[in-house]
Amino acid sequence: MRRFAYCKVVLATSLVWVMLDMFILLYFSECNKCDDKRERGLPGRDVLRPREGPGEGGKPVVISKENQEKMKEMFKINQFNLMASEMIAFNRTLPDVRLEGCKNKLYPDDLPRTSVVIVFHNEAWSTLLRTVRSVIDRSPKSLLEEVVLVDDASERDFLKRPLEQYVRRMEVPVRVVRMEQRSGLIRARLKGASLSTGQVITFLDAHCECTIGWLEPLLARIKLDRKTVVCPIIDVISDDTFEYMAGSDMTYGGFNWKLNFRWYPVPQREMDRRKGDRTLPVRTPTMAGGLFSIDRDYFQEIGTYDAGMDIWGGENLEISFRIWQCGGTLEIVTCSHVGHVFRKATPYTFPGGTGQIINKNNRRLAEVWMDQFKNFFYIISPDCKKCVAVLCRKT
Ligand SMILES: [Mn+2]
């Protein structure tokens, strides 16, 4: 009888121990999995698991016949297919459009951290939040300091308190900063930059989508040489369907004598310099302007942007000339891809009209950086010299 009691006690204690062991085993194996996910960030995990839904995998969105009229109405609000954009998940999957040679490249562990500064003015909720979501989902957490959203005096209510409340819940600090009055891209970016804290500042437009592995190759170039300013390849997000289309690594930035930014084929000499390896960064004369990363201290050293430029236009050539003439290098990093919604018309209104502002900005660009070459610009745009002189004197 006594032996039976002993047996019971032994059995019961072993059972308790077995259960305890199982619990500990399960607990720690689960936790390992979590840590794995968190540490590696698995930035492209959704790429591996294609989901169903409009625009997934970067596919074009098809609008049904009965909605065509409404779609056209909505198009006018932002000059892109807002209806399509609203149908697409904020964290939609995208194809991996990188060159094969980019996919297995290794980068140092101790890359500098970046703040991402995004200026917006009356941006659509869906494009803005998809930009933020793609930055957070596809950047290793260890490299992303914060996201700073700079509101250049938007008039839409949903961009006020609702935006602040929405971004508060995100896994990475997202700050919303307001300009007191309409200040333009340049001054808004400068404010965002001054309030951010990362060693690198990455500027993005408010209607972008970052793809897998976009950030590491950019930061790696800056780590190698802090005077290198880097742009990703800008992929095209269709303004009609939001289809995601890979941009070319065979074009780089230039300009014409009207001082318009233009894409040109990468010349043979630049291909030769890279010994034909298209995964190596391309030295580019100018940048498109919307998307680039720069070391914070170097940005200060070169005097940041020309804060006397208004709203938009010319600032991308200005900073390009500034970088090259102040001992820096401007590159397109071909292993980094970020999508951008290219529009056929601008939805923004400027006080005084677009033409006047761009003329004034371009004149500042020519006078400051172009020495005698400015005369080519004045020959091509003779009325610029006259009419803009009046504007310049006023400010
Ligand atoms: Mn844009």
Dump pLDDT digits (tens) for 330-340: 999 999 999 99
Where are the alpha helices (H) located in 225-353, listed in sequence order?
A: 268-273, 296-301, 315-325
The phi, psi pair for 44, rounded to 5°, reads -105, 25
Q: How far is the CA of 288 from the centre of ligand 1 (A)?
A: 10
pLDDT of residue 22: 80
> 14-23, 47-56, 212-221: lowest mean pLDDT where?
47-56
Provide the 8-state DSSP code for 331.
E
For ligand 1, an ion, list residues with CB under 5 A: 205, 290
Residue type at 378 in one-letter notation: Y
pLDDT of residue 38: 36
Q: How far is the CA of 266 from the centre of ligand 1 (A)?
A: 23
Q: How far is the CA of 104 from the centre of ligand 1 (A)?
A: 30
Q: How far is the CA of 45 from the centre of ligand 1 (A)?
A: 27
Q: How far is the CA of 14 from the centre of ligand 1 (A)?
A: 66
Query: Per-residue pLDDT tens for 242-274?
Result: 999 999 999 999 999 999 999 999 999 999 999
Q: How far is the CA of 291 from the centre of ligand 1 (A)?
A: 9
Q: How far is the CA of 313 from the centre of ligand 1 (A)?
A: 12
Where are the alpha helices (H) located in 44-146, listed in sequence order?
A: 45-48, 68-78, 82-87, 100-103, 125-137
Query: Taking residues 21-43, what's their average pLDDT?
Result: 51
Q: How far is the CA of 344 from the centre of ligand 1 (A)?
A: 11
Confidence of residue 51 (pLDDT cuts 50, 70, 90): confident
